[in-house]
Amino acid sequence: MSQNQKAQLLQGNEACAKGALAAGVNFFAGYPITPSTEIAEYLARNLPRRGGKFIQMEDEIASLAAVIGASIAGAKAMTATSGPGFSLMQENLGYAYMAEVPCVIVDVQRGGPSTGLPTKVSQSDTMQARWGTHGDYHSIAIAPSSVRQCFELTIRAFNLSEKYRTPVILLMDEVLGHMREKIILPDPAGIKVFNRMKPTVPPEWYQHFEINPHFVSPMASFGEGYRYNVTGLTHDPLGFPTSRSEEIQAKLDKLEKKIMHNVNDIVQVEEEFMEEAAIAVFAYGIVARAARQAIRMAQQKRIRVGLIQPLTIWPFPDIYMEQMSEQLEIIIVAELNQGQLIREVMRTNCGKAKIYGLNRFDGDILTPEQIFAKIREVR
């Protein structure tokens, strides 16, 4: 079935669901939570239409568990939630990191902490997407800033999760999830979909957590003739629990290198007007939309300010930011929280620039006027 090539008025959550279908999602397990429920409802209607499976589980803990189980059984699986649900999912998210299970978790962020503001926006799960569960692990989190990007980055999330055999978090927010924009979806024929690497050895030689130079192990599914063990206990390449220090070291090294040795492929940053700009606004997600407008307003007043929009939040774009630290004198980090990603900006800048936070956490978005006012204030 083909995507409609005409312009469509799509909601962000809808575009995310459509992107998932374009990426080949065939399993969704979730639990209703505002403002993400539209993704579940869209897939409840449309997954069976293409032979996929949808299930509403009893809570978010069970939802991510079912997603992981399905992925191990060979499905391309996802769930969608918001802050409180994302908190519940953390233990099983750690399991997916340890067991190297591809899956996509969409977090449509809302005001927190706790029940917070179910129908209002924030970006306050940013750090949680990196550090929410216990232990040492390396997460991938990507953040769209338009309805079109909701579609494109959902596909990218699936591709990254399959390529690196790891969970990927799609950080959306309430405004993005609920807003509508007129977009033309790309021709399905042009969409690149990546699938997990399958083993090329006979079953008796298969190591489900094989350590190789790429740090990504091929992944057989349950039922394909490769009978292996998966566990959340720290394990050897065969998936058997270990307490030997060299095997523990090797496993955790692998989890780190799998991501950190591939940052050139994983990390994406968009920039605008950054050539020779000494001032930058650093913004992601929905705030990047307002920031684009703000820097245009500034350019019109002949203020040379550029926009840095990380599409990849985690791993943080260290290399890019370290390079930019040579030219930047001022960075304004605009976030809908009390200052989370600003810590990473400071870390990678090493004190070379003056860094200002522009923070809004009252449930509404930062406006272009607010960002422009800050630019004028600090320049």
Partner 1 sequence: METITKVTHHYLRTKKKFPNVWCAGCGIGIALGAIIRAIDSLKLNRDDVAMVSGIGCSSRMPVYVDFNTLHTTHGRALAFATGVKLANPKLKVVVITGDGDGLAIGGNHFIHTCRRNIDITTILINNSIYGMTGGQYSPTTPFMKIGTTAPYGNRERDFDICSLAKSAGATFVARGTVYHVTLLEKIIQQAILKKGFSLVEVISHCHTFYGRLNKEGTAIKMMEWQKDHAIPIQAAAKLPPDKLKDKFLIGVLWDVDFPEYCEEYDKVIAQFQAQPEDSK
Residues that bind partner 1 (CB under 8 A): 1, 10, 14, 18, 21, 26-27, 29, 42, 45-46, 48-51, 53, 55, 57-59, 61-63, 65-75, 77, 91-92, 95, 221-225, 227-233, 238, 240-241
Helical (H) or strand (E) element with 168: strand 167-173
For partner 1, give the closer residue by CB, 81 or 348: 81
Rounded to an integer, what distance in angstroms lies between the CA atom of residue 120 and that of residue 178? 10
For partner 1, give the closer residue by CB, 65 or 267: 65
Least Cβ distance, residue 235 to partner 1 (angstroms): 9
Least Cβ distance, residue 221 to partner 1 (angstroms): 8
Rounded to an integer, what distance in angstroms lies between the CA atom of residue 97 and that of residue 254? 11
For partner 1, give the closer residue by CB, 88 or 353: 88
Least Cβ distance, residue 364 to partner 1 (angstroms): 28
Least Cβ distance, residue 227 to partner 1 (angstroms): 5
Q: Nearest Cα to 331, choosing from 360, 307, 314?
A: 307
Rounded to an integer, what distance in angstroms lies between the CA atom of residue 355 and that of residue 347? 11
Question: Which two tokens mark 140?
Answer: 């991938």
Q: Nearest Cα to 346, choosing from 337, 338, 335, 354?
A: 354
* Cβ contact 108:119 at 8 Å: no
For partner 1, give the closer residue by CB, 232 or 339: 232
* Cβ contact 261:355 at 8 Å: no
Least Cβ distance, residue 28 to partner 1 (angstroms): 11
| 147 torsion bin: left (phi>0), alpha (psi -120 to 50), beta (else) | alpha
Residue bearing tokens 């080949």: 24
Least Cβ distance, residue 163 to partner 1 (angstroms): 20
* Cβ contact 32:82 at 8 Å: no
For partner 1, give the closer residue by CB, 50 or 347: 50
For partner 1, give the closer residue by CB, 52 or 368: 52
